[in-house]
């Protein structure tokens, strides 16, 4: 539908990972990315997140001390290397890298964040704890790159950004769940040095059952 | 070894679940409980938690906004029903319930928290987020009852305390992982109305691999 506004990256592309901070500009993009990810996982029927719920959940504490989002942006032009401003997360920039083949983004209009800058992916994290370990961890809840930007190293860039946050905060690990049919992701994570701890089952208590169980405590 | 100081509950027992708040008194008990749980799971070789790391991790934010511990205490005497003090967690008390058989606690001396009050179990929780959902959840990292107090309903009391916190905070769910060999726990959780989401694998990136991956971000 945005075909007439599509952008083509022919020779070079620049990328930036930065903190989601702007409820008015970033949140609608993030919501669309999450919806695309749910669609990819065939989970749209379970999707209850809204732009409002994202705004209400994301900015409640300093970044990475609670639910936090990073977005990946791409541009045909290099991103300005801004000096370190003692931010919680200094943007990660990779300027002017060469493309093997042109990239056509049919949704560039939908995902435009500023002039000639387009949102291409995201990652959601929050602190996790395991009582057996000395140090907390960083849970990676979602990692996603839009279809037309896959295979260019952006997943690795997002994943290593998460590892870098965890390491710089003195955390002991990054942990996450992978759908067991998602072979491509599993291959990627194992290449990145991740260990599978397979002998666990994920349980959830929700809805009426949660309320019933809560009522036992009176 | 505490045999000479062991306590026996013959007819009645009273129970209280309260927030872990006192680094000097509660933390050593909590550390011993975690060690017993690691032993039960055959994971003592991975145990790196210390009393100091627990103190440093548990009291960083208001309860339930980050890593939080509740402990279960038992006593032959009823616990005072203290009026609501606008605490983050009002203690849950179940006084004077009848025992089918006497309970002998061979470690009562090790786990004494005050006169005739003994620490019997714990639960560790922290807020969890799933980007697909409107509401955050409460992750239950550990739930444990000391051996001599099992089968008396204390697991259910701890679990429903967690559900009650999640519900009262407007959270959408409680979620947790269960070792797949732990049939007894699985049976218990399913009886409590929990759903198994089995098609996920848990991955972790830690140690040297975490550092290597972090270095990619430069």
ipTM for the complex shown: 0.93
* Cα nearest neighbour of B41 on chain A: A132
B174–A34 CB contact, under 8 Å: no
In chain A, what residues touch B142 (CB-CB under 8 Å)?
131
Q: Which residue has the tokens 């991955």?
A: B203
B46–A132 CB contact, under 8 Å: yes
* Tens-digit pLDDT profile for residues A179-202: 888 899 999 999 999 999 877 889
Min Cα distance A14 → chain B (Å) is 15
Question: Does residue B49 belong to the interface with chain A, where contact is any CB pair within 8 Å?
Answer: yes
pLDDT score recorded for residue B19? 96
pLDDT at B199 over 70: yes
Q: Give bridge partners of residue B116 from the DSSP assignment.
A: none
Nearest beta carbon to residue A134 from set B49, B157, B177: B49
Whether residue A40 lies in the annotated active site: no
* Cα nearest neighbour of A193 on chain B: B209
Instruction: Give the mean pLDDT of A20-44.
Output: 94
- CATH fold of A3-214 reads Aminopeptidase (3.40.630)
A203–B197 CB contact, under 8 Å: yes
pLDDT score recorded for residue A83? 67
pLDDT score recorded for residue A1? 44
Contacts of B36 (CB under 8 A, 6+ apart): B144, B146
* Tens-digit pLDDT profile for residues B165-193: 999 999 999 999 998 888 999 999 999 99
Nearest beta carbon to residue B43 from set A50, A132, A166: A132
Q: Which two tokens stand for residue A48?
A: 């209850």
pLDDT score recorded for residue A27? 97
Q: Give me the residue spans of the domains in chain B.
A: 3-214
Catalytic residue among B129, B189, B200, B206: B189
Instruction: Give the mean pLDDT of B148-177.
Output: 96
Q: What is the bridge-based pairing of β-strands B137-145 and B173-179?
A: parallel
CB B156 within 8 A of CB B181: no
Nearest beta carbon to residue A127 from set B66, B135, B175: B66
Nearest beta carbon to residue B217 from set A124, A132, A160: A160
d(CA A69, CA A54) in angstroms, rounded, equals: 10
On the CB side of A208, how many CA atoms lie within 13 Å of its CA?
0
* Tens-digit pLDDT profile for residues A112-164: 999 999 999 999 999 999 999 999 999 999 999 999 999 999 999 999 999 99
In chain A, what residues touch B192 (CB-CB under 8 Å)?
205, 209, 213
d(CA A25, CA A180) in angstroms, rounded, equals: 34
Catalytic residue among A46, A189, A200, A203: A189
| pLDDT band with cut points at 50, 70 and 90 for residue B6 | confident
Q: At what angle do helices B51-58 and B26-40 cross, to 10 degrees?
A: 110
In chain B, what residues touch A217 (CB-CB under 8 Å)?
92, 157, 160-161, 163-164
* Tens-digit pLDDT profile for residues B93-148: 999 899 988 999 999 999 999 999 999 999 999 999 999 999 999 999 999 999 99
Q: Which two tokens stand for residue B143?
A: 């739930």
Q: Give bridge partners of residue B16 from the DSSP assignment.
A: B73, B93
Other CB atoms closer than 10 Å to residue A66's CB: what's the count?
20
Quote the Cα angle for B172-B176-B179, to 5°. 160
């Amino acid at each position: 539908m945005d075909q007439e506004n599509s952008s083509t990256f022919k020779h070079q592309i620049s990328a930036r990972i930065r903190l989601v901070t702007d409820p008015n500009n970033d949140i609608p993009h993030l919501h669309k990315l999450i919806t695309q990810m749910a669609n990819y996982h065939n989970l749209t029927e379970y999707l209850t997140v809204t732009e409002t719920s994202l705004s209400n959940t994301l900015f409640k504490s300093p970044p990475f001390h609670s639910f936090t989002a990073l977005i990946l942006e791409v541009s045909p032009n290099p991103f300005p290397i801004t000096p370190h401003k003692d931010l919680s997360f200094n943007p990660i920039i990779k300027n002017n890298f060469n493309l093997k083949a042109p990239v056509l983004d049919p949704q560039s209009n939908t995902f435009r964040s500023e002039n000639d800058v387009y949102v291409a992916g995201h990652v959601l994290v929050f602190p996790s704890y395991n009582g057996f370990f000395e140090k907390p961890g960083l849970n990676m809840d979602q990692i996603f790159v839009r279809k037309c930007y896959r295979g260019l190293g952006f997943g690795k860039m997002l994943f290593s950004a998460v590892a870098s946050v965890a390491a710089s905060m003195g955390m002991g690990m990054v942990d996450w769940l992978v759908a067991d049919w998602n072979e491509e992701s599993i291959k990627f994570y194992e290449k990145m040095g991740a260990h599978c701890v397979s002998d666990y089952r994920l349980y959830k208590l929700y809805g009426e059952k949660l309320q019933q169980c809560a009522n036992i405590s009176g």
